[in-house]
Amino acid sequence: MTCSETREYIFAFLDNEVDAPLSIELQRHLDGCAGCAQEVEIERTVRKQLARAIGSAAEDVPGFDEFSNDVFTSEAATAQIGGRSFRDRRFYLGRILAAAAAVVFLVGAGAWFVLKDHFGSSTLRGFADLVVADFEHFLEEGKVVQIESADREAVGDWLRRQTALAVALPAPVDLRCKLIGGRKCKIDGRPAAFAVYDMNGAPVSLVAIAGEHVRLEGMTEVRYDGATLWVDHCRGHTVVAYRRGSLLYAVVSQLSEEEISCLTTGAAPESD
Amino acid sequence: MEKASEEFLRCVRPQWKGMYHVARRYVVSEEDARDLVQETLLHAWRSFSPTEERTYSRAWLFVIMRSAVMDWQRTAKRRIKLVLAPDSELTELAPADLTEPLSPLPSMDEERFREFLDDRIVAALELLDSPFHEVLILSVAGDLNYREIADVLDCPIGTVMSRMARARRALRENLAVYARQEGWMKEVQS
């Protein structure tokens, strides 16, 4: 291995990111080349000093418990993400409540289930209206997707990485329904995964948000093929919602419930 | 079966310091960094489900944090120190010759070299272009490996390797410029 070739891998070598055979070759070169060995030592020192300056230095790192407790209290959990600052007075009241909640949490094994039931559930009013508004916005924008692919796994992977939601795209049983792509968006301030399909020329969207404890108001609960669905109609659009795991999904289109039923297979108990 | 909250804390706690240090590099003030971490934790908790078949990797938390930074950037709610270009706007970076010799630095003993770096390394880092700056902070402050950084940035691992090499070279060049400007370069290390 030459000095020139060594320089190409010097940083990956220092970061332990080269495979074993290449690592052995590089080390062999360094053992016999004082110049390259010196460069490696310089870069090792540079990285160490950089870590001291911005990373592993322990000063001024706030305590983890201070933040983790706030996550589990209603004050922090219901504060609008991206909206109200945590520096307002309710945040400080929330910290006092968090300290009290932390004591209960540590003492009682069942305390969390009580708090979760009391603080974890929420009501999403006008859910149908929200997802229809997002769909209309998507159509007005010119149907811009961030990942364009008919591959369900590729789009699903991309959505999971981008939104940190455990999205499972259904496999439509109707061959007329084709996946176009996906994008990340927000529904009522919550991160959402959005996939769009083409059903014989008509666009159909599938939106997923975190919503294990979300109650839907104003939607009609129906049983269909062994699954529970919630249905509503809004501004000429059909909305069919269902739960899968911790997520709430909604299929939105101007087509009828029957025509978009191929995309609600995710609600079935034995889907996928 | 363990409670979801305990499982969540077990996933997040080991990444705590890394999260804080990375947040500190994304935004201007410490207060904003604390808010950023708080927002990240809340988003993470909302999307966390130990019953789902998935692995909650370290990258997951930093994906959420990065998404929050980009939101703040779009809405100008906080002062952002490291301005991120949306992936769709990143054009192909010009190829650089990674086999060229590195910029020479002044010859000095190790202790003096560390003092030289202490005073200048953060300034040298902050002069880097955003894509290079970011891979360095994710690696050094966040302690992520290249695969994890690729997941966070949603790019191929080869891109991470290339950016990392270019980032370190650029950092070295910035340090060499300081050394020249301040008259350190009496002898040049070969």
Residues 48-87 of A with CB under 8 A from B: 49-56, 58, 60-62, 64, 67-68, 70-72, 76-77, 79, 81-82, 85-87
Kindly list the residues from chain A whose CB atom is less than 8 angstroms away from the CB atom of residue B168.
Answer: 11, 43, 46
* pLDDT for res A25: 92
* pLDDT for res B107: 77
* pLDDT for res A67: 72
B5 pLDDT higher than 60: yes
* pLDDT for res A227: 81
For residues A251 and A263, what is the distance between their CA atoms, to the nearest angstrom?
7
Give the 3-state secondary structure of residue B164: helix
Asked if B165's CB is within 8 angstroms of A11's CB, the reply is yes
H-run or E-run covering A255? none
Q: Which residue pairs, CB below 8 angstroms and at least 24 apart, start in B26-32?
A: B26/B65, B26/B69, B26/B80, B26/B81, B26/B82, B26/B137, B27/B69, B27/B72, B27/B78, B27/B79, B27/B80, B27/B81, B28/B78, B28/B79, B28/B80, B28/B81, B29/B79, B30/A60, B31/A87, B32/B78, B32/B79
Q: What is the pLDDT of residues A80-118, one digit of tens each?
A: 333 444 444 444 555 666 666 566 556 655 555 555 544
A223 alpha-carbon distance from chain centroid: 29
ipTM of the complex: 0.87
B189 compared with B100, residue with greater pLDDT: B100
* pLDDT for res B46: 84
B78 compared with A18, residue with greater pLDDT: A18
* pLDDT for res A89: 42
* Closest residue of chain A to B2, computed from CA coordinates: A109
Kindly list the residues from chain A whose CB atom is less than 8 angstroms away from the CB atom of residue B117.
Answer: 45-46, 49-50
Q: What are phi and psi of A257, to 5 degrees?
A: -60, -40
Q: What is the pLDDT of residues B159-186, one digit of tens each?
A: 899 999 999 999 999 998 888 888 776 5
Q: What is the pLDDT of residues A7-51, one digit of tens each?
A: 989 999 999 999 899 999 999 999 999 999 999 999 999 999 999
Nearest CA distance, B93 vs chain A (angstrom): 17
* pLDDT for res B160: 92
* Closest residue of chain A to B113, computed from CA coordinates: A45
* pLDDT for res B62: 94
Under 8 Å between Cβ of A162 and B154: yes
* pLDDT for res A120: 45
Q: What is the pLDDT of residues A63-77, one digit of tens each?
A: 777 777 767 664 344
What's the whole-number mean pLDDT along residues B43-58? 74
Tell me what percent of the residues of chain A surpass a pLDDT of 90: 23
The minimal CB distance from A61 to the residues B17, B68, B100 is found for: B17
Asked if A71's CB is within 8 angstroms of B42's CB, the reply is yes
Tokens at B184, concatenated: 């350190």
